[in-house]
Amino acid sequence: MDTVLNFASEVNASMLEVADDPRTLFLGQSVAYDGARIHASLEGVPNDKRLEMPVIEDFQLGFSIGLALAGVLPICIYPRIDFMLLAMNQLVNHLDRIEEMGDFRPKVIVRTTVGATKPFNAGPQHTGNYVEPIRAMLRHVSVVELREAKHVRPAYRAALKGPHSFLFVENPC
């Protein structure tokens, strides 16, 4: 359990660092209002940097891409990677391929988690891990599976500094 707690504190510290960037806006489900475990990772992030989204996953990422094209750095949050599957059209056909269609370079940081199976199993619709199939589909969005606390802050710092989009899948050991 200490590993998970340390991981959670590193994610929260990373989100506070990300929130310090004036371009960032956190959006998704359980961002402004508690409803999933991911909400706690935003403790200390100012409320004016949070935008609660309806459960319309495809729209959420499409909206994030639009914000990015306007100069905002969206942190697009899905409580589970299973839910993010509904946004694959936006991820693969739009965010990942848009730079091949013209002089567009939207930058979005997508955050999601793999649901835990211990101490309680969240069930088959909440515990999938689709990192490798998603990685195989993407050409320009970096896919990073975060499994150890020591990798969390350096990964998010790199995403802030880097020129392209990232998908982070938080999956602590």
Identify the band that residue 160 occupies on the pLDDT scale cut at 50, 70 and 90: very high
Asked if residue 147 has pLDDT above 50, the reply is yes
Nearest by Cα to 91 from 169, 12, 172? 169
Asked if residue 69 has pLDDT above 50, the reply is yes
State what percent of residues in the chain have pLDDT above 90: 77
Q: Locate tokens 């991981």: which residue?
A: 7
Identify the band that residue 117 occupies on the pLDDT scale cut at 50, 70 and 90: low
pLDDT of residue 5: 62
pLDDT of residue 9: 95
Q: For 87-111, what is each residue's pLDDT tens digit? A: 999 999 999 999 888 888 899 999 9
Asked if residue 165 has pLDDT above 60, the reply is yes
Contact 82, 112 (CB under 8 A): no
Q: How far is CA 119 from CA 51, 91, 96, 122, in A?
A: 31, 32, 36, 9
Please state the rounded mean pLDDT for residues 39-50: 96
The pTM score is 0.92
Tell the CATH topology of 2-170.
Rossmann fold (3.40.50)
Could you give the CA distance from residue 107 to residue 13 in angstroms, rounded to a whole number? 21
Asked if residue 14 has pLDDT above 60, the reply is yes
- Which distant-in-sequence residues (6+ apart) come within 8 Å of 82 by Cβ? 115, 125, 126, 127, 128, 130
pLDDT of residue 1: 44
Contact 84, 58 (CB under 8 A): no
Asked if residue 68 has pLDDT above 60, the reply is yes
